[in-house]
Structure 1
């Protein structure tokens, strides 16, 4: 494990796997272990860097949090690696990747269903406050179940408990409840600019089974980014990189190499 100091003095930890050009994987609301199925598939040809988001894993934390601090953490990792990296972010990690790429030098940008809320959904989401209410009532587990139902299933699933029983992060992810509530506050405060000035070639990814509000968000990002490739994967949801790691990594590899599979 290596560490770097972010702009406000917070220590950010990151893993390093393999050798080759740098590829930074940014996890979302889950833990950095999210990328476990993906790392070996990239580490054959890339130096895979997996930062631990502030307050998660081996990284330190701070009393205050904002999207800007999260972006500063990513920039600190970018500055610490050799070469110009590719950024690949999932969910909130996708939003961090997009915002970091606006000011940092990156070779290419990949985002799978970045946590960007648009339109009517953004106005009435309130996920952070709904989570906080359950936390304040002393039921962190219910707060996390509410989050999973909304973010993984768009609020619509018949047997959430049955699904959770088969979901590898459960129940360990309950330990991240407060951390996830605060990143949702940052997500809800974020307004997507009409135009994103990002020089790096960009690949935007989504799955046909992802939550509608995130599928709307990734398309809105595409409209704000004139120069992008957009790929929709049939039959997979918001957890695409772990649900179908072979399909996702093949597409990302092709994009990095200047080819297109779909």
Structure 2
């Protein structure tokens, strides 16, 4: 629902279609799975909470832009059967200032230390943060899904400065429209006329997830700029962790090209395309993805 996470309109429709009040036994089971919460202090001085599902050291989830850890709870609960999944909010949520890439890496390091986890899953911009962190950290496993980074100059950038101008003008509907059109991650919706997309954006902003996203648009822009600052995929040759670079088969094709470029740079890395999965698959807890993540992180 974001530049660097998931297309918001697509995500809201996904929720309506998949969760629309259907109280299945499976849904009740997922909601009952216990959650433990602890407070972590990063090297930056930031204090934040980590929510852990399941048992054991497990893995840490680094979420995308425009969203919070709360949006990944379904993903965590679906995987928390004999393995633990740790969620936390990156900086810039709840009205707090953003922490930048270095701050994001420091926060992730603090979560790994506090939980004892040695594996990381990153989605979209969170995938970029995870890749950058893995250049310096010693990890036992790394998996990224649709990583939003500029490796090979493959990530779209034309929308970034027009989006910035729209935010300066306080036109969040236009900013959202430019983001959606620039990424192309909302499928056919991304190709609607600008006026029609602005109407849809305003409708989206009336929903709880939409209000959250609208508030986070400035951080989405800042993270977009950080993600495209370096196009050299060779920087990831420093990663020594077993790495899986995954992309959604139904995501924009540039994510698969980015994964291909990074896979060449990381020794022994593996590529995976997730059938039928869109960019928002982690938030939707799509089984095509969660079954693969479960297999990756249980393999040893």
CA 1:17–1:120: 2 relative to 1, 3 Å? closer
Aligned residues: 254
Q: 2:238 aligns to what SS in structure 1?
A: coil
Tell me, which stretches of 5 or more residues in structure 1 are unaligned?
none
Counterpart of 2:10 in structure 1 is none
Counterpart of 1:241 in structure 2 is 282
* Contact persistence 2:144–2:244 (CA under 8 A): yes
Picking from 106, 110, 114, the partner of 1:76 is 110
CA 1:215–1:73: 2 relative to 1, 3 Å? same
Structure with more contact order per residue of length (Cα contacts < 8 Å, sep ≥ 6)? 2
CA drift at 1:258? 2.3
* Contact persistence 1:128–1:182 (CA under 8 A): no
Counterpart of 2:87 in structure 1 is 50
Cα deviation 1:229-261 (Å, max 9, x = unaligned): 2111232221122345212111111122228xx
Counterpart of 1:25 in structure 2 is 61
Q: TM-score, normalised by structure 2?
A: 0.75
Picking from 146, 162, 171, the partner of 1:113 is 146
CA 1:57–1:85: 2 relative to 1, 3 Å? farther
CA drift at 1:148? 3.1
CA drift at 1:8? 2.4
Tell me, which stretches of 5 or more residues in structure 2 are unaligned?
1-36
Cα deviation 1:202-246 (Å, max 9, x = unaligned): 111111221233222121111111312211123222112234521
- Give the structure with the larger helix fraction: 2
Q: 1:236 aligns to what SS in structure 2?
A: coil
Q: TM-score, normalised by structure 1?
A: 0.85
* Contact persistence 2:259–2:271 (CA under 8 A): no
RMSD: 2.8
